A and B are shown apart, each in its own frame.
Chain A
Amino acid sequence: MRVEDLINLFREDRPRTSSDIRHVWAVFWANFKIFLSYRTWVIMETISTVASVAMYSFMGLQVDARRVALAGYGDVGWLPFALVGVATANYLWMCISRLSHSLQHEIREGTLESIITSLIKMRSYIIGQSIRGFLVSGYFMLGVFVVGVGILRVPLIINLETILSFIAIILLMVLSYAGISIMAAGLILVYKKGDPLTFLFASITEFLGGVLFPLKYLESFPVLYTLAWLMPYTYALDAARRILLNGATIFSHSVLMDVIVLLAYAAVFIPIGLRVFRWGINRIRYEGTVATY
């Protein structure tokens, strides 16, 4: 290819029209490809997901089923109770850490600079990354259910209605945390570290949300109990359990209350998160630390 040919090629041009959907797609597509390039990690993570389900099934053999009934989901065993908890907790953790994790990477590698000089709006970037996180975490959640229901024969109520309701709850759960996750990403932009913070956040969620035990047992610690019911996850998990253990749908009275709380969290935190994120981007542009290579 000679210089002249290249020049001629550049003579041809059409006006570039901006399209947010194309930007979202590009971010999703590129990052999904990057995800697939970590083949060893994917395989390892898949195997350990399977192993963890097996582990919980053995743990369940020591549980006194009568005490699980205190949770208020009727006469269900511990394993189905815990399986829904583990699946949703893992999902949430993977999903919300995704954005800050990727951003840290983009800063370290210097790719954020070239993203800033391009025409993408940060909003589209966040959405694209989130869709990727959504699908990737979904894959691992599916793994938990396939092993749990398919191999260990855990009695979950699975039909079209409950599946759709469950997916809706997962969506709402992610939305209710989206604000916090975007906010965390904005802070990470500026302070360059904070992955440990999301980690701590995740373990607190897992502990207080009642993944492995009925929240009833937290009642003797009033502070923790109140904290637990301040977290959107607790509501999402309650709804998910009502759906998969008791066959409720998103329109059942008991689930509807949870849905309203989740929506409220989303409505309050997403705008705050976006504002913090915008502040973060402008702050690093001002400090000149968009890249730290």
Chain B
Amino acid sequence: MDIERLIEIISEDIPRRKTPIYRIVLSFITRDFKVWWTYKFWLLLDISGIILFVITYYLFSLITTAQQIYEAGYMTGGYFTFALIGIAFQQYVHFAVQSINESIREEQWNGTMETILSAAIDFKIFLLGEVCFSFIVSSALLLMSLLVGIILGAEFYATPSSILTAVILTILLIASHMDIGILSAGVIMKVKQGSPVTWAFSWLSQLVSGVFYPLKLLPWYLEWVGRAFPLTYSLDGIRLCLQSGKDLTHPTIISNIISLIIFIFIATPIALYIFKVGYDAARRDGSLGQY
């Protein structure tokens, strides 16, 4: 192609309309999906890791008593179902937050972040695209681990309305952890390392959110720390829905939902603010494309 022709094509000016946000977000999702699909090996690994995890806790459940689980108000399924829900949802949010961080790191590493941000896109939209993708992938993994659990004999007791309630709780769980993902992405942009925020979150929530045991077993001070984590409320609510058939009419669930909403209201502006600080700092240092 000669230069004249090229210039002709480039200079052909279409009146630029504002692309609808959903189109931009969708284009991020498809792009991420394509990139992700090239790492089939990793996908296989994620899946087998989760299966192994679930089976391990199935075998562990064989040596447990269901006493504490019943006392905590989760009536069906005993320890295995209890742990299955805990693991599945904890892995779910952990994976999602992790993959937000990784995609930011990746973009910084490859220097593609600068290209994207120079394309006149609001950083909030960019972030939304990244976040949506990671939750789509982790949702698939969540369903898979529940499926493995059911094959191994996990029992649930649920009604249509309690399943609906569980879905609502899951959505709130996602929303609250989007904030955490965004927050740690901001930290990453500034410090350019695996975010200590994600890390601390991951082990702390495993310890105090009641993933592997009812909160009652914790000493009072750890139980109290657990109350700061959205995972605690979500897990309790989801378990009541799926193990005891409770729904929106149950007072504990209502209070769980309210707590989650409060968390989201407080955390969203903080997370966006920290992200913006990290983003601006990275631009100021001229280190967006650095690693």
Contacts and interface: CB of A to CB of B under 8 A. Distances in A.
Contacts of B62: 67, 213, 217
B63 A40 contact: no
B41 A196 contact: yes
Given A51-B203, A196-B42, A206 B56 contact: yes
Contacts of A284: none
A273 to B, nearest CB: 23
B215 to A, nearest CB: 10
A59 interface: yes
Given A59-B212, A61-B68, A200-B48, A44 B59 contact: no
A182 B84 CA distance: 36
Question: Contact size class for A?
Answer: 20 to 34
A61 B193 CA distance: 37
B52 A67 contact: no
B217 A58 contact: yes
Interface string A48-82: 10011011001101111001100000000010000
A112 B62 CA distance: 49
A212 B41 contact: no
Contacts of A78: 63
Contacts of A193: 41
A51 B207 contact: yes
Contacts of A68: 63
A62 B74 CA distance: 14
B65 interface: yes
B63 A213 contact: yes
B55 interface: yes
A63 B65 contact: yes
Contacts of B73: none
Contacts of B203: 47-48, 51-52
A214 interface: yes
B107 to A, nearest CB: 19
A47 B45 CA distance: 27
A58 B63 contact: no
A212 B56 CA distance: 8
A142 interface: no
Given A52-B203, A55-B206, A196-B42, A62 B59 contact: no
Contacts of B60: 59, 212-213
A48 to B, nearest CB: 5
B199 A48 contact: yes
B196 interface: yes
B126 interface: no
A218 B45 contact: no
Most buried by A among B60, B204, B212: B60
Interface string B207-235: 10000110001100000000000000000
A204 interface: yes
A62 B68 contact: yes
Contact of A217 (B59, B69, B199): B59
Contact of B64 (A62, A196, A199, A203): A62
Contact of A212 (B59, B193, B204): B59
B15 interface: no
Given A40-B193, A48-B203, A63 B64 contact: yes
A61 B56 CA distance: 18
A193 B39 CA distance: 11
Contacts of B68: 61-62
Contacts of B67: 62
Contacts of A58: 212-213, 217-218
Contacts of B212: 55, 58-59
A207 interface: yes
Nearest to A44: B199
B65 A51 contact: no
Given A51-B203, A207-B56, A212-B56, A44 B196 contact: yes
B49 interface: yes
Contact of A64 (B53, B56, B64): B64
B63 A64 contact: yes
A40 B197 CA distance: 12
Interface in A20-60: 40, 44, 47-48, 51-52, 54-55, 58-59
Given A61-B68, A61-B213, A212-B59, A203 B193 contact: no
Most buried by A among B53, B63, B206: B63
Given A55-B206, A58-B213, A213-B59, 13 more contacts: A52-B203, A61-B217, A64-B64, A68-B63, A193-B41, A200-B49, A204-B52, A206-B56, A207-B55, A207-B56, A212-B56, A212-B59, A213-B60
20 contacts: A51-B207, A52-B203, A55-B207, A58-B213, A58-B218, A59-B213, A61-B68, A61-B213, A62-B67, A63-B63, A63-B64, A64-B64, A64-B65, A67-B62, A78-B63, A199-B49, A203-B52, A207-B52, A212-B56, A212-B59
Interface of B: 41-42, 45, 48-49, 52-53, 55-56, 59-60, 62-65, 67-69, 79, 193, 196, 199-200, 203-204, 206-207, 212-213, 217-218
Per CB-CB distance, the 7 closest pairs between chain A and chain B, nearest first, are: A67-B63, A48-B203, A64-B65, A62-B64, A196-B45, A213-B59, A212-B60
